[in-house]
Structure 1
């Protein structure tokens, strides 16, 4: 019934997640492990390779640092994906994808829908549960790629964009975007609890791929399953732009890119003190960089 597709670099981690899945899934399944130990694939290409190999019609694309806490979760996935209106299923996502370069949580926590148990380096866990409606299944705009499921026919029509996204970021947001904008639902289930052993890395590679996503989708953003007021929209966009501009500055991206995003911030609110602080930070960072080059 389910093909579990894993881009793997670590045989020990692969064995652990495979054992967890097999012990809890409760339906016929296969593990489709795509060996990426040499870094020969970006995750989009790896997932496309894995989906091509899959023998079942339901696909679960998943990280190797997750564990399953829900017995019989495979039946839950099967039942949900029998609905032809559902294109992607995950366990954490955002209901609105802003126009600014942002991850799925860029809409703010009020519009996030989550059910993930996060494991931290010191061994403690924290449950991220955001389900104000008390739903079993809720619609979102995009989901996080730690675990996301689709029917094979959906993937075949809208495969991962391995030409644009050659690294390990924004593959999930772009996949959901394509499917959402073609009229299928992107959903979060609250009936499956997954433990995740990584919070992800928002680094220079993440910023590069955020810019790629922005370039590809700029005419299609924003979108979502909610319609914010103009004031809410402006607030979300400004905060997301400020956060992204800060990352551009800290990762020392070229001046023309930083100035482009500073200008976008200023258009929303010219005298916003956080934007002015970012401008000062950029000037200071530029002077430091120039000093080191002399």
Structure 2
């Protein structure tokens, strides 16, 4: 392999740019046997190259040994944007680069100035850290309906904790959600009295949070006839177990309880719950002809009236 040109960049390492890239690739195990042998000969002959290799190894060990940081906000865009801005403008650098050089053979964006090289490294390090540790989770308040965890995970956890509970998919427009609100007129203590299995997974959320996200879970406890009436009333057109030719009055809050839910388990806890549920078996069904249902509400926009076509 031919030796790369010995052009000396103005950065602090004293190692030509091309050699800097190849040393980095050598440490990452990305070179062929012949290329690695060339780099090893160069390291043996050049003290500055050995210092650079030691520095790169130290950075790698520091990153690998660092604990996961706690972010207050999403740092990816701000860090990378600031790094690229300083690289482009040459802020605090001895001279302004007229342009950014193309990426090197091994994907490292080296600029013309030492400051540009340094900030390019900051951008790459930030991207790696954020990708490895993950982006920050949004805080979950006690009154927020289930939106923090994937809805499928939440449904799975509920079904494992309460096998006798049925999950019903329901697509609702905003006006139909308003009809559901009247079933929330129950005391707080009664609203929070969820089945024991369900309480291991979820807790009651603020009723006012209903309608604040695209998908939500609502626990419903009702007698057979009242539940059929509720589902038919929410559907607004489809018959569900009740003859709608003579409309029935709305179900009284004492007979139907509807409670928006917030999942409080982590994915790891859900996995443990699955093991416990399989070992324990199904819980008893609800007594007295009552049905336990969780509505999986998918919010959709209200239908707009069709405009007559002009001829």
TM exceeding 0.5: no
Length-normalised TM-score, structure 1: 0.21
> Which of the two has greater strand per residue?
1
